[in-house]
């Protein structure tokens, strides 16, 4: 007996597929929009003050806040896109739009890191005049704005990974403003202008860390790597240990998008075993122990060893066989 996604369209209850695609459902757009308005308004003012005060640290902070604004916009857009049903050639809908945007956001962060690092080193060597007091006051205001934006995001539904990602973005930005606040105080009290460049380099390091994380994680999803913390070989061995299962192969474990994991596998059971029951047992195991709701299992009886055409000749990955006791 075979159970596949094609059969699921006809016999959805028998297939036992659980598709939990409502990752962003219920997230409160109003609170996200409020946080976005705070960040964009402050960011525009910060650029102006940074140019007038000659502070690279303030301008780099504004660049970091731009990524916060983009993260919130992505969360808002993803809410709308995720609500659209899958149709036509897009069998998963447009759920990976957020991953495309995350990768673009990460690459932008890395490019900004290069520029701020270059400018910061130049300013260490040949420091320009920096007005410390405006930098200090603007950075203090930035801390207050980030706290307010974080509070707005905390009021939204943080079970949404998009909202949680934006929330973490804003929290991470607080460190940058703390560095800029310290730099402004040092320049104002001591006249040590290089402090501004040092703060800019600290912000650049934070941007590099965030950018690389986005590029790495989005790359894993595009390459359909197993979700972090899940071991396909261990799961395959666990499935092969289910009573009456003889072999598990062509096991694939991947992410459709953030927070939506999927698994497919070809399962061979002992001759005469109940394919329906065993498939149900495996789906229950995957759901309860690994939180895998989106599963596609092809379940067949183990073929006669002499019938070479009745089995997968070129299976992908590790073949897991039941341990003979």
Higher local confidence (pLDDT), 180 or 4? 180
Higher local confidence (pLDDT), 25 or 137? 137
257 DSSP 8-state letter? E
pLDDT, tens only, 205-262 = 887 888 888 888 888 988 999 998 899 999 999 999 999 999 999 999 999 887 789 9
pLDDT, tens only, 21-53 = 443 344 467 888 888 999 899 888 888 888 888
Higher local confidence (pLDDT), 170 or 313? 170
Secondary structure of residue 65 in the 3-state scheme: helix
Find all residues with CB under 8 Å of 125, minimum gap 6, and list them: none
Instruction: Give me the torsion for CA of 276, 277, 280, 285, rounded to 10°.
Output: -140
Q: Domain check: are 246 and 206 in the same one? A: no
Q: Domain check: are 156 and 39 in the same one? A: yes
Looking at the domain assignment, is residue 5 inside a domain? no
Q: Domain check: are 45 and 183 in the same one? A: yes
Higher local confidence (pLDDT), 94 or 315? 94
Q: Domain check: are 218 and 265 in the same one? A: no
- The answer to whether the beta carbons of residues 215 and 106 sit under 8 Å apart is yes
pLDDT above 90 (res 66): no
Q: Domain check: are 199 and 267 in the same one? A: no
Structural domain ending residue among the three candidates 188, 222, 256: 222
pLDDT level of residue 285 (50, 70, 90 thresholds): very high
Structural domain ending residue among the three candidates 164, 195, 222: 222
φ, ψ for residue 159, nearest 5 deg: -70, -15
Give the lowest-confidence range in 47-61, 128-142, 162-176, 221-235: 162-176
Q: Domain check: are 234 and 211 in the same one? A: no
Q: Domain check: are 36 and 101 in the same one? A: yes
Structural domain ending residue among the three candidates 222, 250, 281: 222
Looking at the domain assignment, is residue 314 inside a domain? yes
Q: Are strands 245-257 and 294-301 parallel, antiparallel or unpaired?
A: unpaired
311 DSSP 8-state letter? S
Angle (CA) 65-163-295 rounded to 5° is: 135
pLDDT score at 15: 36
CA dist 263 and 284 (Å) reads 13
Q: If we measure between CA atoms, which residue out of 194, 204, 180, 146 comes closest to residue 49?
A: 180
pLDDT score at 26: 46
SS (H, E, C) 204-256: HHHHHHHHHHHHHHHHHHHCCCCCCCCCHHHHHHHHHCCCCEEEEEEEEEEEE
Number of structural domains found in the chain: 2
Q: Domain check: are 45 and 71 in the same one? A: yes
Q: Domain check: are 146 and 166 in the same one? A: yes
Looking at the domain assignment, is residue 8 inside a domain? no
Range of the domain at 297: 227-321
φ, ψ for residue 23, nearest 5 deg: -65, -40
CA dist 152 and 311 (Å) reads 56
């Amino acid at each position: 007996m075979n159970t596949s996604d094609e059969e699921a369209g006809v016999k959805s209850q028998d297939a036992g597929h659980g598709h939990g695609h409502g990752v962003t459902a219920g997230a409160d757009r109003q609170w996200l929009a409020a946080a976005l308005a705070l960040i964009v308004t402050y960011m525009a003012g910060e650029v102006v003050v940074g140019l007038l005060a000659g502070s690279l640290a303030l301008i780099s902070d504004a660049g970091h806040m731009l990524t916060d604004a983009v993260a919130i916009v992505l969360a808002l857009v993803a809410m709308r896109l995720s609500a659209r049903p899958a149709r036509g050639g897009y069998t998963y809908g447009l759920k990976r739009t957020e991953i495309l945007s995350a990768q673009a956001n990460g690459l932008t962060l890395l490019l900004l890191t290069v520029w701020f690092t270059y400018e910061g080193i130049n300013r260490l060597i040949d420091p320009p005049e920096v007005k410390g007091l405006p930098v200090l006051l603007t950075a203090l205001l930035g801390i207050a704005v980030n706290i307010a934006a974080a509070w707005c995001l905390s009021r939204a539904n943080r079970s949404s990974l998009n909202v949680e990602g934006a929330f973490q973005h804003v929290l991470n930005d607080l460190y940058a403003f703390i560095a800029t606040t310290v730099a402004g105080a040092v320049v104002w009290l001591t006249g040590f202008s290089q402090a501004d460049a040092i703060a800019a380099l600290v912000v650049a390091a934070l941007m590099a860390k965030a950018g690389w994380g986005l590029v790495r994680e989005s790359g894993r999803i595009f390459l359909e790597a197993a979700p972090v913390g899940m071991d396909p070989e261990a799961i395959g061995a666990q499935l092969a240990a289910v009573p009456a299962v003889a072999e598990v192969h062509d096991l694939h474990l991947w992410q459709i998008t953030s927070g939506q994991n999927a698994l497919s596998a070809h399962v061979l059971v002992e001759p005469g075993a109940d394919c329906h029951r065993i498939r149900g047992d495996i789906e229950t195991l995957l759901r309860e122990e690994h939180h895998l709701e989106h599963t596609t299992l092809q379940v067949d009886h183990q073929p006669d060893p002499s019938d070479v055409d009745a089995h997968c000749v070129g299976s992908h990955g590790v073949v897991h066989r039941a341990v003979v006791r």
